């Protein structure tokens, strides 16, 4: 597609869409067509529900040699259905998720990694993403998170956060029913989670696993791939963390995170275990 439209190799897909929007590129054939979607804040939103299958075929039909498909995931009713009813509706949405799983070799690796800590695969996963510059500035505008936002320092303080996590696990019987907790987080929040992990080592029987352990195992497993692995290691790490969270017994998600949303949607389609907003851990004892 880059070669056909003569786009710079460093340009991102989102930039292609922007160029189409401002008519910089007049020859681009966009699917779905411009009259059925709204492009707002760099997100493509379909105005009407895209099911059934025939409707999808109509939307994605093009005779152009190289049509531009923008955000095909968001062109299905996944996002709209999830936000309106906390469930995935429509066979097309389910099929997209079902047939776009992570590579089988990565699934096998993650399965082995999990079993090295829990042969019965009884574990909790948490996605933690509550940075001040992004999440707080955006989500704390809503009264929905008033209690959490008023106590935001807890989310950034490893000792306080560890205390709340330990108390929650103790009160819910997690220490007896699960073998470990995996905490997935963006790299910029890893120091916080590492500090939480150290607090647990000193004060709790519950084992905390992070991307530090996962990254080491990935390097050992894919090290022979050389530059191919090095070039993609952050993407592979993210996919591996997603697989860990999808297959966990219980998943605590971060509100407002597209990464968490993808895990939520996949768990719903695959009928996995409980999926709970992770701030409930704090609200229970605030």
Q: How do residues 15-40 score in pLDDT, each as one tens digit?
A: 545 555 444 445 556 666 655 555 44
Q: What angle do CA 90, 94, 97 make, to 5 degrees?
A: 145
Task: Please state the length of the chain.
Answer: 286
Same domain membership, residue 23 and residue 84: yes
Residue 186, exposed/middle/buried by CB under 10 A (0-12, 13-18, 19+)?
Answer: middle
CB 229 within 8 A of CB 236: yes
Residue 122, token pair as written in the block: 């009884």
Spatial distance between the Cα atoms of 58 and 77, rounded to a whole number of angstroms: 15
Spatial distance between the Cα atoms of 18 and 69, rounded to a whole number of angstroms: 13
Pairing of strands 123-127, 37-40: unpaired
Spatial distance between the Cα atoms of 237 and 235, rounded to a whole number of angstroms: 5
Same domain membership, residue 130 and residue 75: no
Spatial distance between the Cα atoms of 169 and 188, rounded to a whole number of angstroms: 25
Residue 166, token pair as written in the block: 């330990």
Same domain membership, residue 190 and residue 223: yes
Give the mean pLDDT of 259-284. Answer: 86
What is the pLDDT, as a whole number, of residue 286?
66
Same domain membership, residue 169 and residue 242: yes
Same domain membership, residue 121 and residue 83: no
Give the mean pLDDT of 243-265. Answer: 91
Spatial distance between the Cα atoms of 181 and 203, rounded to a whole number of angstroms: 15
- How many domains does one find in the chain? 2
Helix 211-222 to helix 227-246 angle (10° resolution) is 130
Same domain membership, residue 122 and residue 239: yes
Output the 3-class SS for 185-250: CCHHHHHHHHHHHHHHHHHCCCEEECHHHHHHHHHHHHHHHCHHHHHHHHHHHHHHHHHHHHCCCE
Same domain membership, residue 200 and residue 59: no
Same domain membership, residue 111 and residue 89: no
Q: Does the pLDDT at position 247 exceed 50?
A: yes
Same domain membership, residue 62 and residue 127: no
Same domain membership, residue 171 and residue 71: no
Spatial distance between the Cα atoms of 149 and 141, rounded to a whole number of angstroms: 9
Out of 48, 83, 98, a domain closes at 98
* Local structure of 45: helix, strand or coil: strand
Spatial distance between the Cα atoms of 143 and 97, rounded to a whole number of angstroms: 32
Q: How do residues 148-174 score in pLDDT, each as one tens digit?
A: 888 888 888 999 999 999 999 999 999
Same domain membership, residue 241 and residue 209: yes
The more confident residue out of 169 and 67 is 169
Out of 98, 126, 141, a domain closes at 98
Long-range contacts of 277-281 (CB under 8 A, 24+ apart): 277/252, 277/253, 278/126, 278/127, 278/128, 278/252, 278/253, 278/254, 279/145, 279/148, 279/255, 280/252, 281/164, 281/165, 281/168, 281/252
Q: How do residues 84-133 score in pLDDT, each as one tens digit?
A: 444 555 666 677 788 888 999 999 999 999 999 999 999 999 999 888 87
> Which of 38-52, 180-194, 224-238 is predicted with the least confidence, judged by mean pLDDT?
38-52
Assign residue 148 the CATH number of its domain. Answer: 3.40.50.11350
Range(s) of the domain holding residue 94: 2-98
Kindly report the pTM of this predicted structure. 0.75
Rg (C-alpha) for the chain, rounded Å, is 21
CB 286 within 8 A of CB 153: no
Same domain membership, residue 116 and residue 90: no
Out of 47, 79, 98, a domain closes at 98
Distance of CA 137 to the CA centre of its chain: 20
At residue 139 the predicted structure's pLDDT band, cuts being 50, 70 and 90, is confident
């Amino acid at each position: 597609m880059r070669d056909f439209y003569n786009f710079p190799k460093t340009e991102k897909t989102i930039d292609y869409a922007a160029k189409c929007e401002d008519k910089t590129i007049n020859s681009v054939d966009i699917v779905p067509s411009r009259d059925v979607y709204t492009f707002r804040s760099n997100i493509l939103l379909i105005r009407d529900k895209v099911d059934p299958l025939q409707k999808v075929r109509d939307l994605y039909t093009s005779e152009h040699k190289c049509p531009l498909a923008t955000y095909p995931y968001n062109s299905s009713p996944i996002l709209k259905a999830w936000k309106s009813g906390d469930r995935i509706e429509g066979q097309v949405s389910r099929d997209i998720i079902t047939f776009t799983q992570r590579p089988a070799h990565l699934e096998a690796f993650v399965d082995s990694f999990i079993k090295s800590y829990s042969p019965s695969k009884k574990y909790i996963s948490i996605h933690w993403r509550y940075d001040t510059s992004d999440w707080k500035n955006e989500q704390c505008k809503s009264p929905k998170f008033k209690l959490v936002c008023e106590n935001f320092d807890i989310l950034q303080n490893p000792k306080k956060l560890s205390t709340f996590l330990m108390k929650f696990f103790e009160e819910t019987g997690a220490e007896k029913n699960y073998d470990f907790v995996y905490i997935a987080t963006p790299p910029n929040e890893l120091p916080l989670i590492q500090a939480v992990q150290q607090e647990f080592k000193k004060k709790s029987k519950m084992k905390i696993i992070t991307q530090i352990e996962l990254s080491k195992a990935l390097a050992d497993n894919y090290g022979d791939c050389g530059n191919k692995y090095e070039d993609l290691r952050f993407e592979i790490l993210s996919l591996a963390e997603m697989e860990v969270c999808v297959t966990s017994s219980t998943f605590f998600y971060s509100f407002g995170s597209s990464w968490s949303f993808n895990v939520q949607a996949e768990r719903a389609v695959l009928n996995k275990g409980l999926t709970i907003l992770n701030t409930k851990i704090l609200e229970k004892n605030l």
